[in-house]
Amino acid sequence: MTDNIDFKRYWNKQKIETQTPEELIKKANEFKRKTRFKLIVGNIVLLISCIGISFIWFYYQPEFLTTKIGVIIIMTAILIYVAFQSTLMPLLSKRNLEASAKEQLLQLLQLKEKQRFQQTTLLNGYFFLLSLGFGFYMYEYAVRMTFIWAVLTYGIVFFTIALNTFYFRPKTIRKQQARLNKLIAQLKDLKEQLTD
């Protein structure tokens, strides 16, 4: 074979699978609907948990300040978590279509590095607040129990907190970090390829 191969000839012979513009527009609308649906479901779950917790507050009329503090802390934890997650999302999808591959790549890389830091801090904070909130919240009910029951209940709660802190939290963080680290490494490799 010669040195002068006509790659364009082979290139243009590739079989093309097409899709009509109508199909495409339908898909685009479906995609939009699905994204909106996901966002709504996420918010509803949050709303329901908050309503559930406030319901306990109003229905059982807790007398101790600790219970109220507990409820507020738990709600704050959930709200902060969801707020952060949903502010990060649009950042991920919002991008400048006029920018070159290199610019977009650098933006993505920065964002992912920020995300790597945020996720860990956020998750630590979330677990801490949630445990603290439950600790406070439980107090009023534990006081009304017999000693044995109170010990047992707090024992279970502390066990759950310990399980979260020492097992689920590091595990989730490790998983997220591993995924992000791999992605960041790949992005850096691409960046390397795009260096003049």
Partner 1 sequence: MTFEEIHKVYWPKVYRQCMGYMNDHDAAKDITQETFIKVWQHLPKFRNESSIGTWVFRIAANSCLRQISKDKKMPKSEFPNEIVEEILVNNEPLVEFLYKCISELPEVERIIISLELEELKQKEIAKIVGLTESNVRVKIHRIKEKLTKKFQKHDR
Q: Scan residues 145-184 and list those touching partner 1 (CB under 8 A).
A: 183
**Could you say which residues in the range 41-100 bind partner 1, by CB under 8 A?**
97-98, 100
Distance between CA 188 and CA 195 in Å, rounded? 11
Answer whether 114's CB lies under 8 Å from 184's CB. no
Q: How far is the CB of 87 from partner 1 (least distance, A)?
A: 19
Q: Give the type of residue at 11.
A: W
CA–CA separation, 23 vs 17, rounded Å? 13
Quick one: 7 or 147, whose CB is closer to partner 1? 7
| 2, two tokens | 């010669």
Residue 17 lies near partner 1 (rule: CB under 8 A): yes
Segment interacting with partner 1 (CB under 8 A) among 38-46, 50-58, 133-141, 186-194:
186-194
Q: Do residues 76 and 43 make contact, with C-beta atoms less than 8 angstroms apart? A: no
Contacts of 57 (CB under 8 A, 6+ apart): 67, 68, 71
Q: How far is the CB of 110 from partner 1 (least distance, A)?
A: 14
User: Which residues sit at the interface with partner 1, rule CB under 8 A?
Assistant: 1, 3, 5, 7-8, 10-19, 21, 24-25, 27-28, 31, 97-98, 100-105, 108, 112, 183, 186-187, 190, 193-194, 196
